[in-house]
Amino acid sequence: MIPSLSMQIAKERLGAGRMVVIWILLGVLTIFTSWGFSDSRATFTSGYGLDSAYDILFASTAATIWGATLGALLISFDGVSRDRLSGVFEVKLSQPMSRQKFALSLIIGHWGAILVPFIVLNLLSVLIIWYRIDDLPSIQQFVMYIAASALLVLWWTIIQLLASSWASDMGLSIAMGMGVWISFNLLWIIPTAVIAAISGTGVDDLSSSEFTELQSLVDLFNPNGVYNNMMEMLLEGVKRSISPIYVTISSILWTLVPAWLFIRRIQRISP
């Protein structure tokens, strides 16, 4: 029952007009970034060279974080609030299906809708990299890239569905989701700097080993930071002091805790 309902939700979202915007957004960010970083003259601001296909995939994660997470918000912002306002949600909850399974179907359906353009465009991105530098990521590297990116999209899908379930209208749902998105994407350096100051770590040199270690730990409380740490595990020439065990535990918690909160919300929600 969950697969069929999830497929129905995914098809409905894939056919929505907003998917045009998502395809364009992801296409511009993902493909153009891969093309640009595959230029032989491209380097990180730190001076780290882009010498392999995985280096370029890692560099393009900036586009993934912006494009895929925004796409997840656009897909999911009315996942619950629209049906509640129209009265359809009450009808759906009255169906012979447990609320837990219904909540899981909402998560999988919305997640699947954003994964389709993401995977298609990233396969095209890998082909562009292959064409430009005649190199492909290893199977392990590609699986890590797709798995980590899929998890990132899942986390943001659940976050937005949670916001949609709490919001009284779709405008508030968008505002709540974007507020969380801006906090994690644009304002995260503020709590990192505050914690660094409290702990006595200097913030005058953001590339120092002490600040990098602290930032890696603080990033475990940020879905984007966990994603970045996951991607760095297979990056040659970059060694961060944080243990992969911490990153793994954090990624599991970011998967289970928001999903559990959303399922509990659906179980207790009053249409």
Q: How far apart are CA 178 and CA 104, in angstroms?
A: 23
- Is the Cβ–Cβ distance between 25 and 114 less than 8 Å? no
pTM score of the predicted model: 0.89
- Is the Cβ–Cβ distance between 257 and 270 less than 8 Å? no
Give the number of other CB atoms < 10 A from CB of residue 31: 18
Average pLDDT per run of 10 along the chain, which is 271 residues long?
A: 86 86 86 82 59 83 81 84 76 81 92 90 89 89 90 93 83 85 82 76 64 81 90 73 87 95 89 63
Residues in CB range of 98: below 8 A, 6 or more apart: none
- Residue spans of the domains in the chain: they are 2-268
The label of the residue with tokens 């009284």 reads 168
